[in-house]
Every structure is written in C-alpha cells, then in structure tokens.
Structure 1
Amino acid sequence: MGVFVFLPLVLPLTAWPVARLAEHHLHPRAATWLLTVVAGVMALCSTLCLALVMVVGTAQLPGNPLPDGWSDPEVRAAVPFDEVVGKAAIPALVAVFAACVRTLWRHHRVRVEAHRALLGTSATSVAVLDDVAPYAYALPGHRDRIVVTTGLLGRLQPAERRALFAHERAHLTHRHHCFLLAVQLAARANPFLRPLRTAVVYTAERWADEEAAGAVGSRRVVARAVGKAALVSRGAPAVTLAGLAAPGPVPRRVAALLAPAPVVRRWPPAFTAVGLALWAATAGTLLSAMSSANAAVTMVLILHAATPL
C-alpha cells in the first residue's frame, strides 16, 4: 500500500482547476452536481485516510486499548512514517469533527431562528416582512418558504419581482441548500476543497438564474433583478441558505445572463481539452475512492491476520 494511502489527502489539490473548468464549460445544473459529488467523495476519502493512519500509527503506543495484533510490524509497515503521521492525524481528525459539527449546528440554528421569526406571518409560500432592510432568501423546511422584505420589493419593478420569486422557487425546488451544505462540510473536512465550495455557491446561483430566465421569459429582466438586489441587499443569513443576492461574483452572473443561454448537455465532448480535463477530474475522484477503499480493505485483512484468535 505504501505512500498511496496518502493519495486521498493530496488529490483535492486538483479542486481549483476542476472548479474553473466546470464553471466555464458546463451547464450550471451539471456543474453543481459534478462539483458537489467530487467534493463529497474526496472529503469522505480524505477523512477515512486520516482515520486509518491514526489507528495504525497509535496502535503501538503504551496504554492503547487496541488489540496487540494491531501494533504488529506488518501492520505498521503498511503506512510510511506510521508513528509520526498517526500522532498528527489525531488533532487533524478532532479538528475535522469539530468543524463539521459547528457547521451543522450553525446551519440548524439559522434555520430554526429564521422559522421562528416567521411565526407571526400568514402560512403562505411567500413571507413578506415589513422591514426596510432589503434582503430575500429561500428557507427550506417542512413547508418551504420564500422570505423577502418590503425594503427589497420596493426597489424592484414588477417584472423584476417575478424574476426574484422565480429565482427563489428554483432554489427550493432543486434543493440547492443540500448542495451548499454538502460542499460546506467537504471544505471543513479538507481545506483543499474550498475552491469547490466557492464554485458550487456560484453554479447554484447560476442554475437558479437560468430557471428564473426561463420562467419569466427574459434573461435581461433577471440580470437587472440580480444587479439591483446585489447593490442593495445584505444577502441570506447563512451561506447554506440561497438567495438572489448571494455572495459571489455577481458581475459574472449578470454577464452570463446577458449572453446567450448555455447549451443544455450532460457532458462536453470527450475529445476536447475541456472534456479530457473533466474526465481526468472524474478519474481522479474515482482514484481517490479506490485508494481509500484499497487502504481500508488492506488494513482489515492485515489486522484480521495479525489478531490472534
């Protein structure tokens, strides 16, 4: 197994070029799905890798409750520098666990507080708050709702308001908060995956922009709504709650809406530079998964052979 056990930890370094290629050359829907799956698989693989090297690297330490066979030389030989990386993996895993728990707790708290703030409003799919602060966001839950303030509605023309509601409905219909939360957790598990988190925030907004453009029948109207909301809005209360004026490259979104609609296709042609690069990214993700699976199976077999009956 050797140094290949560490492969899942370094493959996420490819996240930046993968994110750039997907943003520019895939339909926003396909890019969102691809980047989220890549981020999730790589995060799980890197976390599994840390857990494996921690078990192997600490099994031979005095006072460790693991079976004696787990400190067998044959087991330690499977991971280079087993003692050093094993000890280093302990704080790394603690940090990953703490960061993911904190992210989940913050996401849950924001959603609970947002729903609590709407208790006095009518039970409709759109909650209009009497607030001069201009903002709007999609609030998922048992009853999905669109939250918008009078401060934002007063700054939009009727057609732009329709674009706003179509944009937020697209977020709820396609469950964009799940994609955003998944890449947020992946970035907490492995910091090398942060480019994918940033890219998915952008592609999810682009996906909703395209859905809104199709609903209102005008890409220019949606572009105006996005531009106006970005200028005056403070955005959603959390990055995992999507909104029309979400943080990110708003000028790129407006420019994309003023350009022709993207071609809806599942994947670029294989024998092009972009197609080959994206296939390589997919292959890297599969390689990471296979490396982690191979490491786990190898360790189980070695430990089974080393543990006395």
Structure 2
Amino acid sequence: MGVFVFLPLVLPLSAWPVARLAEQHLHPRAATWLLTVAAVVLAVCSTLCLALLMVVGTAQLPGNPLPDGWSDPEVREAVPYDEVAGKAAIPALIGVLFSCGRAARHHHRLRLRASRALAGLPPRSVAVLPDDVPYAYALPGRRDRIVTTTGMLRGLTGPERRALFAHERAHLAGRHHRFLLAVQLAGRANPFLRPLRTAVAYTTERWADEEAAARIGDRRLVARAVGKAALASHGAPGATLASFAAPGPVPRRVAALLGPAPVVRSWPPVFTAVGLAAWGAAVGTTVSVLSSANAAVSLFFILQAATPL
C-alpha cells in the first residue's frame, strides 16, 4: 500500500474546486445531492483510514489488547512510519468522534429548544411569534412548521409573504436540514471538507429559491422577497436552527433569481464546466472509496496471515 494508505486523509482537498464549480454551474438540487454525498463518503473514508492507522501503528505497544500477530513486521511495513502515524491517529480519531458527537448533540438541543418555544401556540403549519425582531425559518420535526415573527411580516407585502412561505416550505419538503447536518458532520470529521459545508448551505438556499419561484410563478417577486427578508433580518439574534435560516450570499441568490431558471440535467457532459464539477466529484469520491477499500482489504489479509490459528 505504501503512502497510498494516507490518500483518503488528503483527497478531500480535491473537493474545493469541485464545490465551486458545482454551486456555480449545476442545478441547486443536483449540486446539493452531489456535494453532500461526496462529503459524507470522503468523511467516512478518512475516518476509516484513521482507524486503520491507529490499529496498525499501536499494535506493537506494550499492553495493547490486540493479538500478537498484528504487531508482526509484515503488518507494520504496510503503513509507512507506522508507529508515528498510529500514535498521531489516536488523538485525531478521538477528536473526530468528540467533535461529531458534540455537533449532533447541539443540533438536537436546538431543535428541542425551538419546539418547546412553540409549545403554547396553535398547531398550525405557520407559527407567528409576537416579536418585533424580523426573522423566519423552517422547523422540521414530527409536525413541520414555518416560524416567523410579526416584525418580519410587517416588512413584506402580501405576495412577498407568499414567496417567503413558499421558500420555507421548500426547505421542509426537500428535508434540507438533513443535507446541512450531514455536511456539518463531514466537516467535523475532516477539516478539508469544510468548504463543502459552505457550498451546500448556499445550494440549499438556491434550491428553495428555485422551488419558490416555480410555485409562485414570478422570479422577480421571489428575488425581491429574498432581498427584503435578508435586509430586515440582518443583525437578528441567533434564533436559527443549525443554519436553517441562514440567508446565504444574498446578492448572488438575487442575481440568480433575476436570470433564467437553471436547466435540470440528468448528468452533464464531461467537457463543460458543469461536467467538470459533476465528474470531478464522482472521480474523487470513487478514488477515496477504492483507496480505503484497498487499504482495508490488504490489511485484513495481512492480519489474517500474521495471526496464528
């Protein structure tokens, strides 16, 4: 295997240009799915790589409960600098597990806190809070709800309110919170994947914008609602749920809505900017999977041969 065993740890760097191309040229729905799947797969592969490095690199340490055959020189030769890599992998793996667990727990607590805050309100699909601070967000759960305030509604006209609600309903229908949580955990597992978290936060907003524009039938109206809502909620306190209400790069979103609707493609040709984004993510993810699988299978057979019956 040699140095290729470390490939899943650094391959997420290749996702940076892919994320940029995807969010600019792919349909927002396709970009969200592509980048989220790539982020999750790359994160799982890098975490598996850390686990393999820890097992092989620490097998020869005194008091290790692993079988004696796992510290065989043939096994250690499969990983360059096995002892150093194994010791470094221990705190790295602990950090990954702790960070992901903390992010998941924080996400869960925010959802519970928001649900409890709405406990006294009528069980309607739209919850209007008597608050002069303008903000709005989609709250997923057993009963999906849109949460907004009187301050936000006062700043919008009737058609703009319908556009705002259509945008938030698109978030709920598309289960965008799952994509956001997945890329957030992937970024915690491997810091090189954090740009994908930013990209998916933008593409989910664009996805909801396009769904709202299709439902309302007026792209300029949705663009105006997006701009006014973002300006009104600027500086509002943290009443959001793990980026559910994050406005994203508003000027880019408004500019996209003022242009033609993006074309939905099943799979773009490779010799285009769109194709480079899609195929680049697919190739990078496949290489990472194959590298991790090759490392796992190779180590498995080496350990089987080294472990006495």
Q: TM-score, normalised by structure 2?
A: 0.96
Q: Which residue of 1 aligns with 2:244?
A: 242
Shift of 1:269: 1.7
What is the root-mean-square deviation of aligned Cα atoms in Å?
1.3
Question: Counterpart amino acid of 2:242?
Answer: T
Contact residue 132 and residue 151 of structure 2 kept, 8 A: yes
The count of aligned residue pairs is: 307
Are residues 1:209 and 2:209 paired? yes
C-alpha distance 237-266 of structure 1, shift in aligned 2 (>3 A): farther
State how 1:12-161 maps to structure 2 within 5 Å.
Answer: 12-161=12-161
Question: Counterpart amino acid of 2:87?
Answer: K
Percent of aligned pairs with the same residue? 75
Question: Counterpart amino acid of 1:260?
Answer: P
Question: Counterpart amino acid of 1:252?
Answer: R
Contact residue 110 and residue 237 of structure 1 kept, 8 A: no
- Cα separation, 2, equivalents of 1:255 and 1:10: 35
Q: Which residue of 1 aligns with 2:190?
A: 190
Shift of 1:266: 2.4
Deviations 1:83-113 (A, max 9, x none): 0010001111111111101100100000000
Q: Please state whether the residue corresponding to 2:66 is helix, strand or coil.
A: coil
Could you tell me which runs of 5 or more consecutive residues in structure 1 were left unpaired when the two chains were aligned: none
Question: Counterpart amino acid of 2:221?
Answer: V
Could you tell me which runs of 5 or more consecutive residues in structure 2 were left unpaired when the two chains were aligned: none
Question: Counterpart amino acid of 2:121?
Answer: T
Deviations 1:238-265 (A, max 9, x none): 463523xx14211100110111111111
Contact residue 146 and residue 165 of structure 1 kept, 8 A: yes
- Cα separation, 1, equivalents of 2:169 and 2:52: 43
- Cα separation, 1, equivalents of 2:159 and 2:190: 42
- Cα separation, 2, equivalents of 1:247 and 1:167: 11
Shift of 1:232: 1.8
Q: Please state whether the residue corresponding to 2:36 is helix, strand or coil.
A: helix
C-alpha distance 181-235 of structure 1, shift in aligned 2 (>3 A): farther
- Cα separation, 2, equivalents of 1:241 and 1:137: 9
Question: Counterpart amino acid of 1:279?
Answer: W
Contact residue 136 and residue 235 of structure 1 kept, 8 A: no
- Cα separation, 1, equivalents of 2:253 and 2:238: 17
Contact residue 32 and residue 204 of structure 1 kept, 8 A: yes
- Cα separation, 2, equivalents of 1:257 and 1:235: 27
Question: Counterpart amino acid of 1:221?
Answer: L
Contact residue 48 and residue 292 of structure 1 kept, 8 A: yes
